[in-house]
Amino acid sequence: MEIIIDIWNSVIIRPMINSLVMLYYIFFNSFGVSILIFTIMVRVVMFPLTVRQSRQLKSMNAIQPKVKEIQEKYAKDRQRITQETMRIYKENGVNPIGCLGPLVIQFPIWIGLYQAILQTLPAAPDRLIGLSGHLYSWLPQVHEVIPLNSSFLWMDLALPDSTGPLPGLPIPLLPILVGASMYLVQKMTAMPSADPRQASTNRMLLWMMPLMFGFFTLQFPSGLAIYWVVSNAVGVVIQGFVTGWEPVTSIFTFITRRGQPQSQPEQAAAPALAAPAEETATDETTADRNVGQDTGRGNRARPKRARRRARGSRNRRR
């Protein structure tokens, strides 16, 4: 167990701490700016993998009609459905597991950054001794800026955002931004599925993940929340340029339609209200014609009956 902890500290924690402190030294002693630059650097390193994930998602969207056709054709044979689906994936060069690559890699980064922020911005002065043990001895710049200033905008990056930017209105802004950005990421990278059960699960995750991460932001340091917001924003931009902006534009289209006034539907309903009146008038005219025709037929029929009666009376007289 100690070997695993040493490897974790050597590979993840120490490089992150020294990178954050070095960026703090370069960018005007602002730990918030150092987190922003660190996030962009991580996204640049992961850029090839993110582009590959985006292309895989685009390919999966394209083959969904074929997958649905197979599920309908072999509805009673689950094994055959799996075989045919994997065949289609192989023919089109699609790897469903490859779509999860960036997400799997980011989990160690989240955990490592959380620990790095707690150790870089210690709550008590005596913990600075532990921080000095993580700094590289061959990098003197990182030793010169200790202790670090944790203030950034309205936040203390070592503490959760609980007050928000407005003093008179204590609404935490970072949890809202984290939840909204996570929703956009989920919307852009949603795994397509022709299976109704899997599609229902995807819709549930579309709302659960943003709510979960927004709740985490209420308890985690604000520095980690800044990383989430910036990382999600960069991910949405990359996904939009690779696969298109339709998921994002559909959200804004839905919002703008709800904000439009309801006068147009009322005007459109006016001709519809006038139509029954015209139909009623037409029906009345048709009824009058029918009545007239029936009346004419009745008048024609009456003389025939009278003639028959007259003939019958003549025969009786004879």
Task: Write the CA distances from 18 to 113, 165, 233, integer angstroms.
Answer: 12, 30, 25
Chain length of the chain: 318
Give the pLDDT confidence score for residue 235 in this predicted structure: 84
- What residues pair up with 155 in beta bridges, in sequence order? 152
Q: Which residue has the higher pLDDT, 313 or 196?
A: 196
The verdict on residue 317 lying in a domain is no
Nearest to 220 by CA among 159, 177, 140, 167: 159
Query: Across residues 91-96, what is the average pLDDT?
Result: 74
The verdict on residue 181 lying in a domain is yes
Exposed (0-12), middle (13-18) or buried (19+): which is 115, by Cβ within 10 Å?
Answer: middle
Tokens representing residue 100 in the block: 């999860």
Give me the number of domains the chain comprises. 1
Nearest to 83 by CA among 72, 95, 67, 64: 67
Nearest to 186 by CA among 211, 163, 162, 169: 211
Give, rounded to a whole angstrom, the gap between the first and last alpha carbons of the chain: 135
Nearest to 209 by CA among 240, 227, 232: 232
Q: Which value, in Å, is the radius of gyration of the alpha carbons in the chain?
A: 37
- Of the ranges 67-81, 90-104, 300-314, which is most confident? 67-81
Domain span including residue 234: 2-259
Task: Write the CA distances from 278 to 281, 285, 288, integer angstroms.
Answer: 5, 11, 15
The verdict on residue 296 lying in a domain is no
The verdict on residue 293 lying in a domain is no
The verdict on residue 106 lying in a domain is yes
pTM, full prediction: 0.67
pLDDT band at 313 (very low <50, low <70, confident <90, very high): very low
The verdict on residue 309 lying in a domain is no
* Residue in the block written with tokens 């709302």: 207
pLDDT band at 99 (very low <50, low <70, confident <90, very high): low
Q: How far apart are CA 291 and CA 168, in angstroms?
A: 79
- What is the CB-side half-sphere exposure of residue 115 using CA atoms within 13 A? 15
Give the pLDDT confidence score for residue 270 in this predicted structure: 45
The verdict on residue 288 lying in a domain is no
DSSP track, 3-39: HHHHHHIIIIIHHHHHHHHHHHHHTTT-HHHHHHHHH
Query: Across residues 180-203, what is the average pLDDT?
Result: 74
Query: Across residues 31-45, what is the average pLDDT?
Result: 89
pLDDT tens by residue, 114-138: 888 888 887 667 677 778 778 888 8
The verdict on residue 159 lying in a domain is yes
**In one letter, which amino acid is 122?**
P
Task: Mark residue 30 as left, alpha or beta (left: phi above 0; alpha: psi -120 to 50; beta: remaining).
Answer: beta
